[in-house]
Amino acid sequence: MAGLGEPLLPPDAKKTYSIKAPRETHWRTASCAEVECEGREHGWVMLIDETTELGQRQAHYIRKVSGRRFRAETENGLTSFTFEPGQTCFTEHEVPLGKPELYVVRDGDLRETLQQVGQRKGNVRVHTRPEDWADDFATHQQKIADAIQEG
């Protein structure tokens, strides 16, 4: 008998429903101006610990490579870099391309490893309309409810 929280059915007796918007196909890089970046609009502060190797590399990049305007104050190995407004921040911004999401139904559940999924002859379906995905989900839920009721 399964304990509390343990699934009663094996992974291949289930379905996994997901909505995906993959970064590679549904997003693109955007500028600070496009996303109305707060750092670009108002400036920003970065606190860097120059007592560490990582902090030393970050501080070197800011001072010698970044080309950004800043004011630096150092105390006890911690450097506060204050960047002026109107310049590109260090964040890589992204915006959606406006493509519709992918409505995915996969046989099995998340307990399976990718290797197990590859060995199994399970289905993966991608619905183009959210209504079809929701209908698939509702139909699957009804089958479960009917099976429970039948015992």
For 80, other C-beta atoms within 10 Å of its C-beta total 14
The pLDDT score that the predictor gives to residue 117 is 47
Q: Are 82 and 71 in contact (CB under 8 A)?
A: yes
Choose among 101, 93, 92, 91: nearest CA to 26: 101
The pLDDT tens digits for 11-35 are 666 788 888 899 999 999 999 999 9
> Residue 2: which pLDDT band, with cuts at 50, 70 and 90?
very low
The pLDDT tens digits for 88-135 are 999 999 999 999 998 988 877 665 544 454 454 557 888 888 898 989
CA dihedral 65, 70, 73, 76 (to 10 degrees): -30
Q: Residue 22 corresponds to which amino acid?
A: P
The pLDDT tens digits for 47-60 are 999 999 999 999 99
For 62, other C-beta atoms within 10 Å of its C-beta total 19
**pTM over cut 0.75:** no
